[in-house]
Amino acid sequence: MEEVDRILTRALAHVGTDVPEDVCSLRQFTTELIVEAVVRCLQRIDPPLVNGLSHLLPPGMSARFRIGMTLAQACQDLGYEGDIGYQTFLYSNELELRRLLMFLVEKLPRDGSESPHQSTAGKSAVLQRAIAARIRQELATPWLPPSLRTPGSLAAQGTRLMQEFHSQPLSLPTNFPAGKIPTETKDYFDRHCPPVTAQPSHHSFVAASLLERATTELSAVQEWDAEWNNQGLASHLSPEEYKARKCQRLQRRIRDQFQWCVQHSPGGQTPSPSDLSQLLQSYGTSSMEAKGSRFTHTERFTFTQDADGLIRQVESVGSAHPHCRDSEEGVRMQQEELSACQQRLEGLSLRLEDVSRDVKHLLVTVSQVREEVRGAQQAASQKEELMGVKRRTVELLPDAETNLGKLQAVIEGSAQRIVRLAQQWEKHRAPLVAEFRRLKEVTAKREHQSVRKLEEMKALREKIKYSAEEAKKKEALYRQLTVELGTLPKDVGRSTYTQRILEIIGNIKKQKEDISKILSDTRDSQKEVNSLSGKLERTFAVTDELVFKDAKRDEVVRKAYKYLAALHENCSHLISTIEDSGTILREVRDLEEQIESETGRTALSSLDKILADYKAVRQDNIAMATNLQRA
């Protein structure tokens, strides 16, 4: 049984049960460990059976009884046919526990599905186990209100270790193909860029910044996958071509937005700053001056001429007084001339604005007049056409009969010509319609094929993604199994287990042969006993008949008959005594087996547990009654 217990312990540890290293037999399992093992197994077999049930045993006895009944019902729902109840978990017996755990271990899924404890391997698995142990320790620690916390409990349950979630942008070498990082970028990240842990302004922001960066990249990848699956595949373009076309559309929208903003700038004028012009030229637009109106060009040309004239006047004045520049009179004259030029410039600017407003008004008036003229011309052309028809009608009235005949002949000729044209059109239309239908069918087939291929591509992409995830899981499982294999003892090989299995099989075969031999001997002995009993009965019957005939005439024979009857009765009593002794021996063996099983049940310790639990339940009931009376 030690080997069986070792196998069960290893299987329970594999599904996530925290089995201590010194536990190697089911006899050493505590109530908490039994409940945790059963809950872990049920979570792997059928999670809905223990949905929301914790593997930690609560301190209250009523809650323990409820958990025991729930686990018993879940095991019965799985098909366990043995005797099971809350006592199986709270007051465990080694034989019943071994039978139950063997049933649960056999029910564990064998399809390679992984539990949450198998999702990582190596150091990650150790870290997760440490985190789980720490969480269990914190959950087991009773909560205290802030006013009753000691300095030690403040370190564990206080809020001084909590930090605000604040993220900052990080500089990472991303969005570069493998092996194609520019030399300058690589030199920057190798020599000048600080490490990730030193980039945030505070060390508590590192985790938040990394989480924010990872979430952003993951969401970008998911958005690209969704866009490519919905729109990219339907465009029948490669990913590079789709990205290039999307970039062109974005640049076109930015260019159009810039042009709209320039054309609808305040004041109705088209500004021409050099930086905005260069920006539009960088987005593939032409020079902004080409977009202006004739008035804009005229206005700019006039203003430029005026400004150039002013500049030339200033230069001429400066050249006319070369000897007075350094004197105070020259400076005063220059300032007066400059102020006069500025006043003139301001006057020209005001005049330019007035002219601009007048031109705008005139342009609006001209556009309205043009619209009115266009409407009048259309009305006049319509009236001219109507007047021409009426004039020709009046001209045809004097010779109405002849004109009606000619008109009828023209109408008949037109009708015949229309019929001939219709026949010719039908001749040309039939092959064109057939060709159109054929091309339509071909297009529909191609469309259907493209849709089918698109669905196949989507399914193939999903299959590739699923296969990649499965490969990652299998690789993680492989690494974990490799680590576990490294922790196993190296001195015990497969041949040892094979030899042990062969020895167990040989012992089983030998026991079967011994049992078969014993059964055969028992059947032979039973047959011999039955035949001897029948022979004895027949011999006694014959002897009794012969002796009874002679016993009527001879006294000696009569005594012999009495002795024969007494001998037969004593032999029968002896045989029944031997049978009763065999029955008693069998009952003794059964009682010895029951004693051994009862000894293994640890009835005394279970009785002590039951008494302690009974006292705890009574105390809980007394406390509840007291609380009810106070309420």
Q: What is the Cα–Cα distance from 94 to 599, expressed in whole angstroms?
A: 10
Classify residue 40: in a domain, yes or no.
yes
- pLDDT given for residue 260 in this prediction: 77
Instruction: Using alpha carbons, select from 13, 15, 17, 43 the residue that is nearest to residue 32.
Output: 17
Is residue 56 a contact partner of residue 76, using CB atoms and an 8 Å limit?
no
Residue type, 101: L
Which amino acid, residue 558? R
* Per-residue pLDDT tens over the stretch 95-109: 888 888 888 888 887
What pLDDT is recorded for position 407? 81
Q: Say yes or no: 521 and 547 in one domain.
A: yes
In a shared domain, residues 442 and 545 = no
Q: Is residue 158 part of a domain?
A: no
Residues 322, 383 within the same domain: yes
pLDDT at position 366 over 70? yes
**Same domain assignment for residues 483 and 516:** no
The whole-model pTM stands at 0.34
DSSP string, 564-618: HHHHHHHHHHHHHHHHHHHHHHHHHHHHHHHHHHHHHTTHHHHHHHHHHHHHHHH
The whole-number pLDDT of residue 74 equals 87
Per-residue model confidence (pLDDT) at position 286: 40
CA distance 252 to 239: 20
Distances (CA, A) of 75 to 51, 91, 116: 14, 17, 22
In Å, the largest CA–CA distance within the chain is: 197
Domains in the chain, number:
5
Residue 617 inside a domain? The answer is no
pLDDT at residue 501 in the model: 80
Nearest-angstrom CA–CA distance, 220 and 225: 9
Which tens digits make up the pLDDT trace of 542-595? 888 887 777 777 778 778 888 888 888 888 888 888 888 888 988 998 888 877
Residue 386, classified by CB atoms within 10 Å of its CB into exposed (0-12), middle (13-18) or buried (19+), is exposed
Residue 160, pLDDT score: 58
Percent residues over pLDDT 90 in the chain: 3
Tell me if 584 is assigned to some domain: yes
- SS3 state of residue 379: helix
- Provide the 3-class DSSP secondary structure of residue 173: coil
User: Does 121 map to a domain?
Assistant: no
Q: State pLDDT tens for residues 388-445.
A: 888 877 777 777 778 788 888 888 888 998 998 998 988 888 899 999 999 999 999 9
Whole-number pLDDT of residue 571 = 84
pLDDT for res 503: 84
What one-character-per-residue DSSP string does 113-168 give? ---GGGSS-THHHHHHHHHHHHHHHHHHSPP--GGG--HHHHHHHSSTT-------
pLDDT at 190: 82
What is the arithmetic mean of pLDDT over 18-34?
Answer: 82
Average pLDDT, the chain: 77
Confidence (pLDDT) at 205: 86
Residue 37 vs residue 7, higher pLDDT = 37
More confident residue, 583 or 603: 583
Average pLDDT over residues 220-226: 86
pLDDT score recorded for residue 287: 38
Say if residue 316's pLDDT is above 70.
no
Is 167 within 8 Å of 205 (Cβ atoms)? yes
Helices (H), 228-266: 239-263
* Whether residue 354 sits in one domain with residue 419: no
Q: Is there a single domain that holds both residue 470 and residue 499?
A: no
In a domain, 255, yes or no: no
Asked if residue 468 and residue 503 are part of one domain, the reply reads no
Least confident range from 119-128, 178-187, 254-263: namely: 119-128
Give residue 16's region: left, alpha or beta (phi > 0; psi -120 to 50): left
Q: What is the CATH number of the domain that holds 54?
A: 1.10.418
Best CA proximity match to 128, nearest among 120, 137, 136: 120
- Between 319 and 62, residue with greater pLDDT: 62
Give the residue numbers spanning the domain of 226: 183-236
**pLDDT for residue 162 is more than 80:** no
Judge if 519 and 590 occupy the same domain. Answer: yes
Residues 409 and 483 grouped into a single domain? yes
pLDDT for residue 317: 45
Residues 508 and 456 placed together within one structural domain of the fold: no
Position 320 scores a pLDDT of: 44
Are residues 109 and 195 both part of a single domain?
no
Pairwise CA distance, residues 93 & 27, whole Å: 8
CA gap 192, 195 in Å, rounded: 9
Q: Give the pLDDT of residue 347.
A: 82
In a domain, residue 160? The reply is no
Most confident range (mean pLDDT) of 151-165, 176-190, 273-287, 565-579 is 565-579
Residue 164 is assigned to a structural domain of this protein: no
Task: Determine the Cα–Cα distance for residues 33 and 42; give it in Å rounded to an integer.
Answer: 14
**pLDDT at site 601:** 57
Q: What is the pLDDT of residue 19?
A: 83
Domain boundary among 55, 83, 113: 113
| pLDDT value at residue 482 | 82
State the pLDDT at residue 590: 86
In this structure, the number of other CB atoms found within 10 A of the CB of residue 15 comes to 19
What gap in Å lies between CA 385 and CA 381, rounded to an integer? Answer: 6
Interval 107-113 mean pLDDT: 64
pLDDT in the model for residue 296: 45
Cα–Cα distance, 40 to 105 (Å, whole number): 11
Q: Which tens digit of pLDDT belongs to each residue from 454-467?
A: 888 888 888 998 89
Indicate whether 307 pLDDT > 60: no
298, pLDDT greater than 50: no
Do residues 27 and 76 both lie within one domain? yes
Last residue of a domain, one of 488, 508, 525: 488
Give tens-digit pLDDT for 244-296.
888 888 888 887 777 777 666 555 444 444 554 555 555 444 433 434 444 44
Residue 116 in contact with residue 473, Cβ under 8 Å? no
